[in-house]
Amino acid sequence: MRTLYNLLFIVFFLLSAPYYFWKMWRRGNWRRNFGQRFGRYEGRVKQALTNSNTVWLHAVSVGEVNLCTQLIAALEPRLPLHKFVVTTTTTTGMGELEKKLPPHIEKLFYPVDLRGPVKRALGLINPRAVVLVEAEIWPNFLWRVRDRGIPLFLVNARLSPRSVPRYKRFGFLFRGLFASFTGVGAQHEADAGRLRELGCRPDAIRVVGNLKFDAAALGTRRHLDVPALLHQLGVPSGAKLLVAGSTHAGEEALLADMLPRLRRECPDLFLVLVPRHMERGQSVGDELKAHGVKFAFRTELTAGGQFAPGSLDCLLVNTTGELRYFYEHATVIFVGKSLTAEGGQNPIEPGALGKAMCFGPHMENFPGIADAFVKAGGAVQVSDAEALEKSIGELLHDQPRRRALGESALRVVQQNQGAVERTVEMILEQVAPQAKATPPA
C-alpha cells in the first residue's frame, strides 16, 4: 500500500509541480526557507528544538493560522515545559504566523508528503504530540506519526457530504489513517457521524463546536488604522462603507456594476473590495477599470499616496491579513465566494463585530453557521446579484435594521463560544493529564 502510494505521489508531484511553483511565484517571497518544504531545517531550528517537549501544530494557510494562535494562547500556560512549533503550507500563511506569534514559537514550512522529507522533519522536530488544524490528510506523514507512537489530533474537523464518497472510494487507504487519530474535535454532530463512517474511532471523537467562533474576537492590539487610510483616500468622515470580503472571480464585476446605482441612492458610499487571493489584485483592477470604477490599490497607501476628496469610488485591498480591520469599520458587509462560486467564506468575523452582513446562496462550507445567523436574524441571505443589490441598498438607508442584524449576529457568536477550551482539554488528556486539572487563572 505505502509503496503504491509513494509511486503514484511522485508521479503526481512531478506533473503538478509547475503549477504549484507558478502559484508560489505569483504570491512572492517563495525562495525564502524553500528547503524547509523538503524537511531541511537549518541548524538554528535544530538547536532550538533539541531535548524539547515539542507540540507540533499544522495550519495550512491564513484561516487555520488564526485558529492556531488561539490554541497556543490556551495551551502555553498549561504546558510551560513544552516548546511549540507551527507549520504552514503557504507563504501567506507564514506571513500571518510571523505577524501573530511571538519569536519563541518556531514557525516552519510543512514538508511535502514524500518519505524522505517527512522522515527528516519528524526526526528533527521529534514532537510529543501533533495537532492538525482543519488540515488535509497526508498519508506518509500520518503513517510516520503513527509508527512513532505520537498522539495525533485533528481539531475543528468538518466534512462536507460531498467529500465523504471521495474518501470512501479510497477507503483501503484512508480508513486506517482516520483510525490513527488519538483525538478528533468535530464541529457538529453531523461531522462526527461522517468521521465515524470514515473510520475514526467513536471514543476519539468529541463534538466541541467551531473554533472560529472563539478566534473571531478582535484582540486589543490594532494592526491597521483604517480611519487614517480612508482619510488618505479622500473619503469624508462618516461616509458609509460597503466592505466586500474574500470575493472570488465574477463577484467583483457584479459589485462594480451595481456600485454606481447604489451611489446614486447613497452618494457618500465607498466600496472596500478585498479579494480572497491577493495575487488576483491586477486582474480585479482591470475589471474595475472596465466598469469605470475609480480605485486605488491598498499598496499605494503604504507608499504614502494621498488622494483628493471625492476622487475615488473604491479601495482594492491587495494585501493579506487586514480584512477584519476593514470589517470593523463597515456599514454593510458582503461575505464573498457565495454568489458566483460555491463554498462561501467565514461569516463569523463580521458577526463577532456586530455588523450587518449579506451573503449569497452558496455557503456550502459553512452550512450550519450560515443557517444559524439567518434563522437568528443576524444575516441576510440572497439568491442572486439583483437581490444582493436590493438588500444592500435597503440596509444602507435603515440604521435600526443594521443595528438589529448586528446585535443578533453577535448573540449567535457569543452563544457558540467555548470550543477552544473544549479542544484544549481533549489534547491535555493525552499530553499532560495533570495540566487539565489545573487550568490557568
Residue 362 confidence (pLDDT): 95
- Helix (H, G, I), strand (E, B), or coil: what is residue 127? strand
Residue 218 confidence (pLDDT): 52
* 4/147 Cα distance (integer angstroms): 18
118-to-40, 44, 145 alpha-carbon distances in Å: 10, 19, 9
| Residue whose C-alpha cell reads 497526508 in the numeric block | 138
Residue 440 confidence (pLDDT): 53
b or e along 231-243 (b: 16 or more beta carbons within 10 Å of the residue's beta carbon)? Answer: ebbbbeeeebbbb
Q: Cell digits for 149?
A: 507512537
Residue 344 confidence (pLDDT): 92
Residue 303 confidence (pLDDT): 78
Q: Which candidate, 195, 158, 163, places its Cα nearest to that of 180?
A: 195
DSSP-assigned states of every residue in 34-101 = GGGGGT---HHHHHHHTT-EEEEEEE-SHHHHHHHHHHHHHHGGG-TTEEEEEEESSHHHHHHHHHHS
State the SS3 of 380-411: EECCCHHHHHHHHHHHHCCHHHHHHHHHHHHH
State the chain's mean pLDDT as an integer: 91
Which residue type, as a one-letter code, is found at position 256?
Answer: A
Asked if 358 contacts 380 with a C-beta cutoff of 8 angstroms, the reply is: yes
231-to-227, 228, 314, 322, 325 alpha-carbon distances in Å: 6, 5, 13, 17, 15
Label residue 220 by pLDDT band (50, 70, 90): very low
Asked if 71 contacts 64 with a C-beta cutoff of 8 angstroms, the reply is: no
* 317/275 Cα distance (integer angstroms): 7
Count the alpha carbons within 13 Å of 48 in the hemisphere toward its beta carbon: 16
Do the first three CATH levels of 29-209+418-436 and 226-415 match, i.e. the same topology?
yes
pLDDT of 66-89, one tens digit each? Answer: 899 999 999 999 999 999 999 999
**Bridge partner list, 274:** 245
Label residue 18 by pLDDT band (50, 70, 90): confident
H or E, element range at 244: strand 241-247
Is pLDDT above 50 for 257? yes
Is pLDDT above 70 for 53? yes
Label residue 302 by pLDDT band (50, 70, 90): confident
* 368/347 Cα distance (integer angstroms): 11
- Helix (H, G, I), strand (E, B), or coil: what is residue 405? helix
Asked if 187 contacts 159 with a C-beta cutoff of 8 angstroms, the reply is: no
CB atoms within 10 A of CB 299: 14
Residue 358 backbone dihedrals phi, psi, to 5 degrees: -125, 150
DSSP-assigned states of every residue in 153-216 = EEEEE---TTHHHHHHHTHHHHHHHHHT-SEEEESSHHHHHHHHHHT--GGGEEE---HHHHHT
Q: Which of 58-62, 110-114, 403-407 has the weakest average pLDDT? A: 58-62
Which residue type, as a one-letter code, is found at position 164?
Answer: V
Q: Which residues contact 50 (CB under 8 A, 6 or more apart)?
A: none
pLDDT of 354-407, one tens digit each? Answer: 999 999 999 988 888 999 999 999 999 999 999 999 999 999 999 999 999 999
Asked if 131 contacts 56 with a C-beta cutoff of 8 angstroms, the reply is: yes
Q: Which residues contact 219 (CB under 8 A, 6 or more apart)?
A: none
Is pLDDT above 70 for 288? yes
Asked if 336 contacts 248 with a C-beta cutoff of 8 angstroms, the reply is: yes
Residue 263 confidence (pLDDT): 96
* 185/412 Cα distance (integer angstroms): 20
Asked if 150 contacts 427 with a C-beta cutoff of 8 angstroms, the reply is: no
Q: What is the CATH number that goes with domain 226-415?
A: 3.40.50.2000
Q: Which candidate, 366, 433, 416, places its Cα nearest to that of 208?
A: 416
Residue 219 confidence (pLDDT): 53
Q: What is the CATH number that goes with domain 29-209+418-436?
A: 3.40.50.11720
* 208/313 Cα distance (integer angstroms): 43
User: Is the pTM value of this prediction over 0.85?
Assistant: no
Longest dimension (CA), the chain: 66
Residues of the chain with pLDDT > 70, as a percent, come to 97
Is pLDDT above 90 for 429? yes
Is pLDDT above 70 for 222? no
What average pLDDT does the segment 274-300 reach? 94
Residue 380 backbone dihedrals phi, psi, to 5 degrees: -110, 120
What average pLDDT does the segment 195-222 reach? 85
Label residue 437 by pLDDT band (50, 70, 90): low
Q: Which long-range contacts (CB under 8 A, 24 or more apart) does 187-195 make?
A: 187/156, 187/157, 187/158, 187/368, 187/419, 188/158, 188/368, 190/368, 191/157, 191/158, 191/159, 194/159, 194/161, 194/164, 195/157, 195/159
Q: Which candidate, 430, 434, 61, places its Cα nearest to that of 278?
A: 61
Is pLDDT above 60 for 326? yes
What average pLDDT does the segment 240-245 reach? 98
Label residue 150 by pLDDT band (50, 70, 90): very high
pLDDT higher at 17 or 295:
295
Label residue 342 by pLDDT band (50, 70, 90): confident
Burial (Cβ within 10 Å: 0-12, 13-18, ≥19) of residue 358 = buried
Residue 61 confidence (pLDDT): 84
Per domain, the residue ranges of the chain are: 29-209+418-436, 226-415
Residue 66 confidence (pLDDT): 86
pLDDT of 155-181, one tens digit each? Answer: 999 887 778 888 999 888 999 999 999
pLDDT higher at 139 or 136:
139
Q: Which candidate, 257, 210, 267, places its Cα nearest to that of 235?
A: 267
